[in-house]
Amino acid sequence: MKINRTVERTVEILKLLSKEKNGLTVKEITEKMKIPKTSAYDILETLAHLEILEKNTGELNLYKIGLKSFQIGNSYSRNKEIFKIIDKPMQELAEKIGKTVFYAVENVGEIVYISKHESEKAIITTAGIGSTNPMYCTSLGKAILAFLSPEKLESLMNMQSFEKKTSHSLSKKELVKELKEIRTRGYAIDNREIEEHMLCIGAPVFDSTKSVVGAVSISGLFSKDRNIDIESSELLKTCSEISRKLGY
């Protein structure tokens, strides 16, 4: 299949800007992507004209994700049956535990957050819908990795950078060992591995083919007083309920 370079660059620009809350200039975009300025400018101006991007015409010409991107992204949520299935169990879990609950799926070696519920008591978390994180240092990612086929696991492990996000981030060797433990107990823990102050617990969700299709996590501040046993028990109940509704 022949890949259209302009379309490919357009998608890469959108992915880059989706992670930049304050936007980027043409120069910043071209430097990060290592593409010609003229090519980037034409794409950016077209996307801004179509309202896929917003262009700040102040002192700096900053480009950021626009309203149409949000509308297109929302159509994905509306069209996916799984959102009807996960919404209520996740909301109930968030209120019961008093923390933020996420649902994420794997995409090109990363986790993508596609649903989020926050308890009124929850500390506001930084991850937003549509944002991504590495698999190796998140409870969601590790919960998915632990239940993949050997072939898929090897492929995704090779895509991980194993960069030290914090002093608690695991090496590849340490993660391989931990994945065995996760398969035994049924859930994963991100113990300050991506953010120094956060502890998250994640568990997998399965479909009718017995394949892991995503994961649910409970996210909150790290504390020695966190009752992992109670939280993981409630999390596993929620994941079991969702998996049953998916035909598992």
pLDDT digits (tens, 9 = 90+) for 28-79: 999 999 999 998 999 999 999 998 999 887 767 899 988 788 777 766 665 5
CA 100 – CA 198 distance, rounded (Å): 11
Please name the fold of domain 5-69.
Answer: Arc Repressor Mutant, subunit A (1.10.10)
Confidence of residue 128 (pLDDT cuts 50, 70, 90): confident
Residue 115: closest CA among 16, 213, 18, 216: 216
Confidence of residue 151 (pLDDT cuts 50, 70, 90): very high
- Name 205's bridge partners: 214
Scanning the chain, the segments in alpha helix (DSSP H) are 5-18, 26-33, 37-49, 67-79, 82-97, 139-145, 150-157, 172-185, 228-245
pLDDT digits (tens, 9 = 90+) for 68-90: 887 777 666 655 678 889 999 99
Reply yes or no on whether the pLDDT at 236 is more than 90.
Answer: yes
Q: What percent of the chain has pLDDT over 70?
A: 94
Query: Whole-model pTM?
Result: 0.72
Q: Residue 126 has what pLDDT?
A: 65
Architecture, CATH, for domain 80-245: 2-Layer Sandwich (3.30)
What tokens appear for 56 in the block? 């700040």
Show the CA angle centred on residue 132, arms to residues 130 and 138, nearest 5°.
Answer: 130
65 within 8 A of 14, measured Cβ to Cβ: yes
What tokens appear for 1 in the block? 């299949």
Residues of the chain with CATH 3.30.450.40: 80-245
